Amino acid sequence: MWSRSTVQIWGECLSAYGGPYLFGDKLTMAAAMYAPVVTRLRTFDVPLDPVSEAYCDRILEWPAMQQWLAAAQFEHEEIEELEVDF
pLDDT at position 75 is 82
Note down the domain range covering 65: 2-72
Q: Please tell me the total count of domains within the chain.
A: 1
pLDDT at position 1 is 45
Model pTM score: 0.79
The answer to the question of residue 77 being in a domain is: no
* pLDDT over 90 at 78, yes or no: no
The answer to the question of residue 81 being in a domain is: no
CA distances from 51 to 46, 55, 58, 74 (A): 14, 6, 11, 32
pLDDT at position 70 is 95
Mean pLDDT of 61-84: 85
pLDDT at position 64 is 92
* Gap between the Cα atoms of 5 and 2, Å rounded: 5
pLDDT at position 33 is 94
The answer to the question of residue 83 being in a domain is: no
